[in-house]
Amino acid sequence: MNNKKNIFQQIISKKIITNIVYQDNLVTAFNDIKPQSPIHILIIPNIFIKTLNNIKSEHQLLLGRMLLVASKIAKKKKIDKSGYRVVINCNHHGCQTIFYLHMHLLGGRQGINIFF
């Protein structure tokens, strides 16, 4: 895969302008262009990882940072008390549509309980 053509890589490098809500040396977070909740933010690593299946032990700090950033953004957006959802889709049956590891932070309304 050519990372330079991936939409997420272009957002990280600011070749595509979007509303970045957080960025550091490991991760970038921005508003989803097709939000599924009033608050729908994508959190992505600044390095290319195709799917959750492709993570390695050296990615532990990066994955922890993604979760920490999700928590910080939830507090900033004032959804930490009411609740929010963090989702990582993996591969076709997991509904992954962009094959670049990313986490969805969803909040601002009651979610649907899909677990019985």
pLDDT in tens, the chain (116 residues): 444 578 898 899 889 989 999 999 999 999 999 999 999 999 999 999 999 999 999 999 999 999 999 999 999 999 999 999 999 999 999 999 999 999 999 998 776 666 54
Is pTM, for the whole model, over 0.85?
Answer: yes
> Which residue ranges form the domains of the chain, and what is each CATH number?
3-54+69-107 (3.30.428.10)
What are 105's strand-pairing partners? 41, 86
Find the catalytic residue in 40, 92, 93, 102: 102
Distance set, CA 26 to CA 7, 19, 64, 76, 93 (Å) = 17, 18, 10, 19, 28
Q: Does 92 qualify as catalytic in the annotation? A: no
**Rounded distance between C-alpha atoms, residue 67 and residue 95, angstroms:** 20
